[in-house]
Structure formats: C-alpha cells, structure tokens
Amino acid sequence: MLDRLFTMPEITWTGLLIGAGLFAVTSIGGLALVSVLLVKLPAAYFAHSRPRTFWVDRHPLVRMTGVAVKNVLGAIAIPLGLVMSIPGIPGPGLLVAFIGVMLLDFPGKRKLETRLISYPAVFEAINNLRRRHGKPPLILD
C-alpha cells in the first residue's frame, strides 16, 4: 500500500495540458477578480476620516448576518491567499490574503491596512490600475 503513495503518476500530454489550462484560468481569473475589487473600492477607503460602519441603516438581524458572512469570507480568503502565494500555485496570493484582512473585523485592522497599502510600490500599482479604469486614486491620510 505504501509503495503506491511513493510512485510517480504517469505524466501524459493530456494531463499536462489540463494542468496548464487550469493554471492559466485560475491565475487570470484571480487577477481579474482582485482587480475588480481594487477598482470598486471607494477612493477614501483607507482615509482615517472615513467611518467604518457596515450596513448601519439595515435591520439589526440583516446587519449581524452580513457582518458574520463578511468575517467568514475574510477568514477563508487569508489562508487561501497564503496558499496561492506559494510558488507554482496559481493566483494572486498576497492580494487575496490582503482582501481577506480587509473583510475581517479585528482591533488594529485599520492601522495594519494603512501600513500595508502605504508601501510605495503597492500604492502606486493600485493607483495605476484605478487610473486605467477612470477611477480616482486612493487617499491616504
């Protein structure tokens, strides 16, 4: 039984093509999803003056359900993003993990987000993406 675990599977051209296709689809799809989310963010999302209230005008039960779903999605996105950041695994790993952090609610979140987004290369890359889609640049205080 153990010998089956340690034997190399047969590599075929069909298997290689399917693997390459899955790699391409998940990489391009992940980058597209992250790009859409970064373009849709309000320009003042990272500004200290922006209030951090989620669905305040909704019924309390709807608001609590939304907050719970948002936190579960964030908790799923962080490890998924970390796995995708391993070389050879397709997808925009660190960006997915960052979006997971943005979805979670925890003390010190705003400070962490601001520190991560304020790296010049990250900030400039996001603002270039937003500029190409006709959106104003992100505002940092």
**Per-residue pLDDT, 54:** 67
CA nearest neighbour of 126 among 99, 104, 107, 105:
99
**Per-residue pLDDT, 47:** 76
30 within 8 A of 84, measured Cβ to Cβ: yes
The contacts of residue 105 (CB under 8 Å, 6+ apart) are 67, 70, 71
CA nearest neighbour of 34 among 79, 85, 115, 94:
94
Full-model pTM? 0.61
**Per-residue pLDDT, 129:** 92
Q: How far apart are CA 18 and CA 59, in angstroms?
A: 47
pLDDT block averages, 10 residues each, the chain of length 141: 69 86 81 85 78 73 88 91 80 80 84 84 91 91 74
What are the residue ranges spanned by the domains of the chain?
13-132
